[in-house]
């Protein structure tokens, strides 16, 4: 199944020419202390993703890659766009000036998936931090709201809306080798939730289960699809829940249904579709990629952070998180991202450079 309006492809050499007109290619220059002057992303000659012999995205040299997205304001304080800054470790390498309708995710293999919209055309791009270049994956007349790279095969998964009606058109996959997009998950029926304002994604540690969460202004519904066996029934969790956090301990972790923060954190059982509260209140939270631990900042003013072994239970207070730092939970709705090891989460202050934190190695407070 495919949609003609979705398929406005820009294959080489057209893609390179169009991106080259819009962007200026410069070489990144290092400065003292490991910092760097950010440069504009040039046009990649081909997809910047590299894959191993088994087809998976190569990630070994990308640890410590990060991005952050901030608002660009005019002299009167009105938002006129967004700025995306990317780097690795302590070095800032790439900067892009983007439209207001911009979402980012990753990095995966040192590459950030970026969606932008100009009011008539949506674009999916892959931005390489190491190569300081941008590759146009796809353009669509429909509205693309968020995309991510699947590390198992390098394909790009994105959510699509009808531009005129904002009707949900489902979740689609663009293969790493090109071709027509294929449907991953059908649209959520309008009666199930009403107008959807945001859609977010999480993959489990094995890269097999994909959670697609749709949220209105009042509630959220999460559907879990088996990517390895699409014929298996979709698991739907439509109990009271807030934004998705991730997979952990064989369960799905979400925020509770709250108005603002702090808020509780829930772990959902797939079979029973019931939840257990694992944190009574938190200001930010994330699970490690391997699903072993959840890290949550409970009180940033008093600098109180806790670690929870999701599969085994037990909450302990830990050291190592600075005051005002937030835990980054990933997805396509965040302000920053970080590529670390499977047993790490990322921390950042607003507009700060993300860095890794290993919950299992954190010093426990008495």
Q: How far apart are CA 128 and CA 60, in angstroms?
A: 15
Q: How far apart are CA 294 and CA 253, in angstroms?
A: 9
Q: How far apart are CA 201 and CA 248, in angstroms?
A: 14
pLDDT at 330: 85
pLDDT at 192: 77
Beta strand pairing call for 133-140 and 42-43:
parallel
Q: How far apart are CA 231 and CA 268, in angstroms?
A: 23
Task: Say if residues 157 and 138 touch (Cβ distance below 8 Å).
Answer: no
Q: What are the structure tokens assigned to 278, written together?
A: 């694992």
Render each residue's pLDDT in the chain as its tens digit; 366 residues: 444 444 333 332 223 233 333 333 333 333 333 444 556 778 888 889 999 988 889 888 889 999 999 888 888 888 888 889 999 988 888 888 888 889 999 999 999 999 999 889 999 999 999 999 988 888 888 989 899 999 988 999 999 988 888 888 999 998 877 778 899 999 888 777 877 888 999 998 888 899 999 988 888 999 999 988 888 899 999 888 999 999 987 899 999 998 888 999 999 998 888 999 999 999 999 999 999 999 999 998 888 999 999 877 788 999 999 988 899 988 888 889 999 999 999 999 888 889 999 999 999 998
pLDDT at 156: 93
DSSP string for 42-95: EE-SS----B-TTSPBP-GGGTTEEEEEEEEE-TTS-EEEEEEEEEETTEEEEE
Closest CA to 139 of 162, 157, 116: 116
Across-strand partners of 117? 122
pLDDT at 328: 92
- Euclidean distance between the first and final Cα of the chain, in Å? 57
Q: How far apart are CA 102 and CA 114, in angstroms?
A: 7
Across-strand partners of 347? 327, 355
| Entry pTM | 0.84
pLDDT at 264: 94
Q: How far apart are CA 327 and CA 346, in angstroms?
A: 6
Q: What are the structure tokens assigned to 112, written together?
A: 């950030």
Tell me 331's DSSP state.
S
């Amino acid at each position: 199944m495919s949609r003609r309006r979705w398929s406005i492809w820009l294959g080489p050499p057209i893609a390179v020419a169009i991106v080259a007109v819009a962007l200026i290619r410069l070489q990144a220059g290092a400065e003292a202390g490991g910092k760097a002057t950010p440069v504009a992303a040039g046009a990649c000659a081909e997809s910047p993703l590299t894959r191993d012999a088994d087809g998976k995205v190569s990630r070994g040299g990308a640890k410590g890659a990060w991005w952050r997205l901030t608002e660009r304001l005019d002299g009167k304080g009105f938002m006129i766009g967004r700025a995306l800054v990317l780097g690795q470790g302590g070095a800032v390498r790439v900067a892009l000036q983007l439209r207001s309708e911009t979402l980012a995710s990753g990095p995966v293999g040192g590459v950030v998936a970026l969606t932008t919209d100009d009011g008539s055309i949506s674009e999916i791009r892959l931005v390489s931090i190491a190569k300081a270049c941008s590759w146009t994956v796809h353009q669509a007349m429909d509205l693309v709201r968020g995309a991510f790279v699947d590390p198992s095969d390098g394909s790009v998964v994105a959510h699509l809306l009808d531009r005129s009606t904002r009707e949900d058109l489902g979740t689609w996959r663009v293969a790493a080798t090109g071709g027509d997009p294929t449907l991953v998950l059908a649209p959520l029926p309008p009666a199930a939730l009403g107008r959807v304002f945001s859609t977010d994604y999480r993959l489990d540690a094995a890269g097999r289960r994909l959670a697609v969460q749709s949220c209105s202004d009042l509630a959220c519904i999460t559907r879990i699809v088996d990517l390895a066996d699409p014929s298996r029934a979709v698991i739907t969790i439509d109990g009271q829940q807030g934004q998705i956090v991730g997979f952990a301990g064989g369960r799905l972790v979400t925020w509770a249904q709250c108005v603002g923060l702090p808020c509780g954190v829930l772990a959902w059982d797939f079979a029973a579709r019931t939840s257990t509260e694992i944190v009574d209140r938190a200001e930010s939270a994330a699970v490690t990629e391997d699903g072993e631990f959840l890290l949550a900042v409970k009180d940033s003013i008093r600098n109180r952070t806790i670690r929870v072994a999701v599969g085994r239970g037990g909450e302990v207070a830990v050291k190592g998180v600075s005051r005002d730092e937030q835990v980054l939970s990933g997805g396509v709705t965040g302000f920053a991202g970080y590529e670390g090891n499977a047993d790490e989460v990322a921390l950042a202050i607003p507009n700060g450079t993300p860095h890794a934190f290993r919950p299992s190695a954190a010093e426990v407070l008495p």
